Structure 1
Amino acid sequence: MKSLLVIILSFISTLGFAQKIAHQKIFSEHLGEARDIWIITPSGYDSGKTYPVLYMHDGQNLWYDSLAYAGTWQLQENLSVLEKEGLELIVVGIANGGEKRMAELSYYYNPDHSSGNGKDYLSFILEEVMPVINSNFNIDKDKVGIMGSSLGGLISIQALAEFPEVFTVAGIFSPAFWFNPKTIEREYLEKISSDTRIYMISGAKEVYGEVDFPKDQVKAESVLTDVLTQSQFKSLIHEDGEHKEWYWAREFNDAIKFLFKWK
């Protein structure tokens, strides 16, 4: 597997940025199909150092306009700014399953939607993607993060609760708690390790009938402030925030600095 990744790295397109991006397809027994992943490494990657790693959902929307269906997170631009500030990390973008996205990005069943395959999706990350990353890159095992928006935010906080021994930080952007309401119950959120760091945001404009993203975030916040200290948990609701990539791209760097630039 390492030799395969080396070959892939030789065909990187940097698109004018200093970071390097490798693309790979990994066949998943858990998902029953091959899935695209993209690995972005710092411009000054040094095999003698260890790096934080961030696993991100909806990989199609992270940096390539040609793949994105609703704009991108401008990851290369954002990571370039962070590098100039001395913060380097490895980002692993994992493609969503298209029409399978709802099912894969929800750990629990929702009777009104295709849902509840999040266990298989997270097993894919833990058992099939992580071994590839860990065997090819020097990873700081104390700084393993997960991040996503909407359903990606939902499955990220579920990953913290279900696998607290693996994920130490999480960026929870506009989380779709309405899809699996159990996720914001006290009994569930208290499964999250007290050593975790969480950065959570939503926009005041993210209210759609009975679905109220900021209201649900406040419910989660009321529990997480009891689980985590103020230095470990930040929750923000922005007046201009919308359920769109431009918003998540704008807030990415502040989240990363809170999550990773602390020791």
Structure 2
Amino acid sequence: MKIMLNLLISLLFLNGCATPSLHSNATAAQSRIDYLNAFSSRYVIPRNVEVWLPRQYFLTPNTALPVLYMHDGQNLFSLHSANFGVAWEVDDIAQRLMDEGKIQPAIIVGIWSTAQRRMEYFPERAAQYFSEQDGAVLDQLKQHLGAGKNTEYLADDYLRFIVSELKPYIDRHYRSLPERTNTLIAGSSMGGLISIYALAEYPEVFGSAAGVSTHWPLFLNNDHPGPAASFRQYLQVQLPRASTHRIYFDYGTATLDQYYEIHQQQVDALMVEKGYVQGRDWVTKKFPGAEHNEQAWQARIDVILEFLLKP
């Protein structure tokens, strides 16, 4: 009798430990953020990097995923690190969209900005198109930034850091799809500038880019349109023609975003000249009433991700 009872208990235990179904795995699997603190570089000062892995990364261990690189990484995932106490909640929103099949599963890399943000995100080679007056205005602005603020252009070094140091690290340590079509880059405000600049400078590396509330006045205002025109001149020459890349733009109509529409319309005309087709390999979206802040970008990150990571 005792032997039979032990056998029955063993059978019940084994049955309870049966291999769960894929659905059970999907429910139990968790996404993860890896923290690469003070990531060092030969080109720029150290900064934190956060690598978000969706639960699909763990459910399909033999599958590699696209990688989306995003600037101002401290504002993406956690309100505790966000500069203004509001995060984009990219991890939660992306995971929901992936679970619903609305976007491809992807790794998202958040690159923190530093005190040198302005100059790291300023599209450096656009300066070669500046008029003498534009240069004088920018020199005056740099002086206004005050002691301790770097006044040298740093965008080219920042992109070298991403392309030759950070991306190789991600490709070595994670199951990523390293080719151009699966390497994406995005940011807001001046982060939008550097994202478009990255695609123009490294069209063989980045297949898609998103400029969210792109700060076309180049940290000036509409009283000084020259630098913005210079960046368009640069894009006219350097932006790759359509067929191999995808580009997303958007803007709101309130606070700082209210100054962007006139610039975006001129950029849209340039996109048409380059052969991009609205709704196919390029979109520009207007969000009436949207402000220039994390709350506004959080509210439309689903739209941005659905373009960049279209299944």
TM-score normalised by the shorter chain: which range applies? Answer: 0.7 to 0.9
Question: Does 2:73 match 1:59?
Answer: yes
Conservation of the 8 A alpha-carbon contact between 2:72 and 2:110: yes
Secondary structure (helix, strand or coil) at the match of 1:122 reads helix
Shift of 1:69: 1.2
Gaps of 5+ in 2: 1-27, 128-137, 143-150, 219-226
Conservation of the 8 A alpha-carbon contact between 2:252 and 2:286: yes
Distance in 1 between residues matched to 2:212 and 2:200, nearest whole Å: 17
Residue 260 of structure 2: aligned partner: 213
User: Could you give the per-residue CA deviations for residues 99-118 of structure 1, whole angstroms, max 9, x where no partner exists?
Assistant: 21101111225432346210
The count of corresponding residues between Structure 1 and Structure 2 is 242
Residue 217 of structure 2: aligned partner: 178
Q: Which of 72, 79, 103 is residue 119 of structure 2 equivalent to? A: 103
Secondary structure (helix, strand or coil) at the match of 1:200 reads strand
Question: Does 2:176 match 1:139?
Answer: yes
Structure 1 runs (4+) deviating above 6 angstroms are: none
Residue 24 of structure 2: aligned partner: none
Conservation of the 8 A alpha-carbon contact between 2:256 and 2:291: no
Q: Percent identity?
A: 28
Question: Does 2:93 match 1:78?
Answer: yes
- 2:118 counterpart letter in structure 1: M
User: Could you give the per-residue CA deviations for residues 57-100 of structure 1, whole angstroms, max 9, x where no partner exists?
Assistant: 00110111111112211112211211222231100000101x21
Question: Does 2:248 match 1:199?
Answer: yes
Distance in 1 between residues matched to 2:54 and 2:256, nearest whole Å: 37
Deviation larger for 143-152 or 83-92: 83-92
Residue 47 of structure 2: aligned partner: 35
Distance in 1 between residues matched to 2:196 and 2:189, nearest whole Å: 11
Residue 62 of structure 2: aligned partner: 48
Question: Does 2:105 match 1:88?
Answer: yes
- 2:95 counterpart letter in structure 1: S
Residue 163 of structure 2: aligned partner: 126
Q: Which of 220, 233, 236 is residue 282 of structure 2 equivalent to? A: 233
Root-mean-square deviation over aligned CA pairs: 2.0
Secondary structure (helix, strand or coil) at the match of 2:46 reads strand
Gaps of 5+ in 1: 1-15
Deviation larger for 128-137 or 74-83: 74-83
Conservation of the 8 A alpha-carbon contact between 1:107 and 1:115: no
Distance in 2 between residues matched to 1:198 and 1:192, nearest whole Å: 11
TM-score between both structures, scaled by the size of structure 1: 0.86
- 1:96 counterpart letter in structure 2: S
Distance in 1 between residues matched to 2:83 and 2:46, nearest whole Å: 20
Conservation of the 8 A alpha-carbon contact between 1:57 and 1:93: yes
1:17 to 1:44, Cα distance in 2 relative to 1, 3 A:
closer
Conservation of the 8 A alpha-carbon contact between 1:102 and 1:115: no
- 2:291 counterpart letter in structure 1: E
Secondary structure (helix, strand or coil) at the match of 1:165 reads coil
Question: Does 2:195 match 1:156?
Answer: yes
Residue 269 of structure 2: aligned partner: 222
Q: Which of 282, 296, 302 is residue 247 of structure 1 equivalent to? A: 296
Distance in 1 between residues matched to 2:236 and 2:199, nearest whole Å: 9
Query: Greater share of strand residues, 1 or 2?
Result: 1
User: Could you give the per-residue CA deviations for residues 141-194 of structure 1, whole angstroms, max 9, x where no partner exists?
Assistant: 222110000010011111111111111011110111111522223x52452222
Conservation of the 8 A alpha-carbon contact between 1:17 and 1:76: no
Conservation of the 8 A alpha-carbon contact between 2:123 and 2:194: yes
Secondary structure (helix, strand or coil) at the match of 1:81 reads helix
- 1:76 counterpart letter in structure 2: D
- 1:94 counterpart letter in structure 2: I
Deviation larger for 53-62 or 174-183: 174-183
Shift of 1:196: 1.0
